[in-house]
Structure 1
Amino acid sequence: MIIRGMKTLHLRVETQNNTALKMAQLLEKHPRVNHVYYPGLPSHPEHDIARSHMSGYGGVVSFEVAGDLQATMKFVDSLKLPYIATSFGGCESLVQQPAIMSFWDYSAAERAKIGIKDNLIRFSFGIEKFEDLAADILQALQKM
């Protein structure tokens, strides 16, 4: 099973990288997104470093939606394609809201101190079609 998986790893990683970059570009222009964190974007503070060291920028995009904790939860709950989970790197897309998942036991002040805002989303893209993922994310943003 490991050997079989390794034979297609480059295809999966390439798909994840391409999807993440296109999605980061789409989200950066969306009025209901305050900020996008992705080293493939020229607006990222370490973009030049990433560009000089990487052939792809990874499959994870973090972004802040325009809303509070409840609006962000509504966004996540409105998504239909990704699994809500804290693991990354699989064939299926995963989404998480760090404020209530990875950092659930931190106070709001502790989260703020380390940059985990209530409206932060982490999205790990899988190998689904970009168009399907984009449509899903856009419909969820509209429901906020």
Structure 2
Amino acid sequence: MPKILPHTERFILIFNKLKNEKKLPSNEILAQKIGLNSGNSITEIKNRRQNIGMDVLQKFCDLYGKDNGFTMDAFTGNSPFSPDDHLNWERAVIKVLTHELAKVQSKLYNRPVEDCLEEIDKNTTLTLADLRRSDK
């Protein structure tokens, strides 16, 4: 399996978000629009078995970025985190996923997102303490 590059990870996050919001066509149609051979290529990328090329990524940004608030900069390192810095990239992914979880919990339990984020942080702290105790 290839090493999945940070720009591919970012693509997967944005792809999944737009798919869930029903802002993307079928994988087959999307593949045709951005210059991939078939919808299977999208599936391979989404399942982290293949990286996305920068030329294909540029077409994706050209087609969907403006309407959805992202540009090629989101993928090329013009952000607070260097794509080459693996630990910071992982932290950024965790922050995005944590915020997405808090938004879902907010809707589910009819609570402010900030309260859900605080609860997630509290539970993470407790879990970390438990893990530290079990390592001794």
- TM normalised by structure 2 equals 0.31
User: Which is richer in helix?
Assistant: 2
Task: Indicate the structure (1 or 2) with the bigger Cα radius of gyration.
Answer: 2
User: Which is richer in strand?
Assistant: 1
- TM normalised by structure 1 equals 0.30
